Structure 1
Amino acid sequence: MASKTVNIRRDVDDKFYRYRMPLLTTKIEGKGNGIKTVVPNMSDVARALSRPPTYPTKFFGCELGAQTTFDEKNDRYIVNGAHHPDRLRELLDVFIEKFVLCKSCKNPETDLVILKHGRNEEIIRDCKACGERTDIDMRHKLTTFILKNPPVKVKKGKKRDVAGAADGVGGGGPPVPGSPEGEGDEDVDPGNESDDFLTKKIKAEAAGLSSTATIDNEGWSADTSPEAVKERVAALEAGLANTVLGGDDDGSDDDVNSPYSLLGKWIEEKKEEADDPKAFCVAVYKRATELGIDKKHKAITVISQAIFGAEIVKEVPLYAALFQKMVTSEKHQKALLGGVERLVGLMYPDLVADIPKVLMAFYQFDILEEEVITQWGTHVSKKYVDRDTSKRVRKASEPFLKWLEEADDDDDDE
């Protein structure tokens, strides 16, 4: 069974907050003077934070005044003494605040960068979400450990998997698209780019920049200094203001006061009272229209997460009319698949095995098209969930993809 996941910022009580991590677990081993606390899923937690697992483990030791042990080969991270899991989770929140979240926008999409000033060294957080570089309190004992064990640098010309390998290279959270790695020829779906419309435009503008510029973690060449980032944003805003204001990214589904979050919470509240699924479909559509997002593809992602539950296979026929009304493009279909991905991958992990039935239900109601499902099933993306979850969901979808392929073959034979 997949481990429970929680918001990286546990102070954000929003189930639609996209940055999530596994809930830290602990195991007490030994007795007497040899008693110790093992963190079995430290690598998974650190991967979600894009930090080496040694960093939060060492942080625990600094805060608790305890010795720590790292056995990276066997994936064992140990804090001497017996420590309650709630205490370590509280300390993890402090670590995230001090060494992960951008001090400006509170987004976890950050890299740790070591700057040298003569003989002195400084650690900063380089935020890929807002472009700000914010300092870290160098008085904390962990900074000494980080300076001696710096994050591994990304080689020039190669993209970074932001969800990160266990060594914690780089920063950024699950939603940022990464590069193919490891198994086979998996790639990130070109249609599943970052939600930030302005970032897409910046990428396009950056294509013509000098190849001698420094490499950015999004995979394009550009000067990543705060001044350069702000300059590019200002220049693009001047020419794209009208486009951005009318784009599909008005408001973020990460903002608890955005129309997307308001719609999601409204659906969750009203669903308990709804006796007639058809009438509820109409009510949801009207509410989305009132919020001005009835045509936005991100509204589909939110609705699919809020309206479905553990009985999604049985619920699809009940709410099919709503999605038939609102899913009007390939982008809407991908947004629906993204919402389903979050639902079964993060909120109801036991439902991953049922993903073929879910896809079949949407397919039979002509909500999802064969080409879109096939493309989605063969392209891993980190837009909606972390890379590992994305792989797991797509792996589970293989029986349905195979059925689609065989059905096409039969049609060709006929």
Structure 2
Amino acid sequence: MQPTIQIALVGAGMFGGDVHLRAYADLQRFGIAGQLARVGLDKHARDLAPVKFDLVAVATRSEKSALKSAAAFNEWTGHEPKAYFGDAPWDDILRDFPDLDVLAVATPDHLHTQPILAALAKGVHVLTEKPMCLSTHESDDIIAAAKAKNCIVAVDMHKRYDPDHLRIRDDIQNRIGAPLYGTAYLEEPLEVSTSTFKWVESSDPFSYVGPHWTDLIWSYYKSKPVSLTAVGQKKRLIRDGINAYDAVQVRVDFENGMSINFHNNWVTPADFEGPVNQGHEIVGADGKVESDQQYRGFRWWNQGGGSRTSNNHFTRDVARPDGTKGYIGYGVDSLTVGLVAVCRVKFAGESRDAVADLYPTAEEARITCALVDAAARVRDLNFKYLNEGKGATVTARFGADGITIVDANRIAEGPEAVFEKIYDKAL
């Protein structure tokens, strides 16, 4: 019998319906071996060449979008996955496919934990979008469940696989010396927060896209955070009746002494020339690296269309002789490495610890979850105090004793009130 990996996709919106669904379509038709050289895992190509990948189900909140996604997959591959819909469609999938290998989670940010834990309880591996979850405590629950079942929880941190970032990690960071400070930014279009997503009041720009950059900095230096401060602004979305942050700025200080500012918004005007504005820079003791991920030198303009730019590294179509198009790029690479780890566990009998160096793990994602969790608390307090004319004085401290919110405005309640422990374990 041909070795098979059964996959189900939960969430087929902007990212699930584009990147995940297209990536699984290529796997359905051609397997994984052709993708492995891109991520340096081609030594596994012969072993994994016979493996069949089968998308058995796709699920969304609405029946219409689920059927649309299943039909699109059928058009690309000649295979139509079963469509599910509802508030918790993963429960039906896990019931109907007891031999499911992977649940891919591309639901809204605040709805990751429930399907992840449901999958792990059944011994099903997980590929999840970032952030893995929004709570430090939930990240521990996920890690514990994964360990108990020897399951992979691979987090889609695709910024790691951008070829420019790999050059920084493997070469440039060594040239510029010890890191001093830096800035990372990702600014999303206004339509994301006003029409594409209906859940923005349950998240914020840093929680949504900041994890890309916090994870990237972690992948460069493997240095843990020691403190942070955060502020946010509400001016543009309020005009549309949306009570969500327009922008959030978070400064994180790390054990190795560097300080990085993370700037995120989702109010960039629609006529901006690129899909998003993004980039980062790091100043070291002996140099500096700048990396603009929005404008990479590829630009065009035409009458009625204005000036446009495109990121051809993230995903791109490659024409095949049969008229179909291959789908490659660093946006796919992060999914590929997680599936390699799943295959090694299932077919080679390896432990999750033995394959941890192949993919962005839940343990690594825990650091980003802690930053998102603490930043949200600090941001809200500073927003409140700024509106009261008290300044943005709240910070978070990370240490062996856990995470502590330091709020000098509570000194009137007594010195002990200034320090609020929100988490009691070391990162």
Q: TM-score, normalised by structure 2?
A: 0.29
Whose Rg is larger?
1
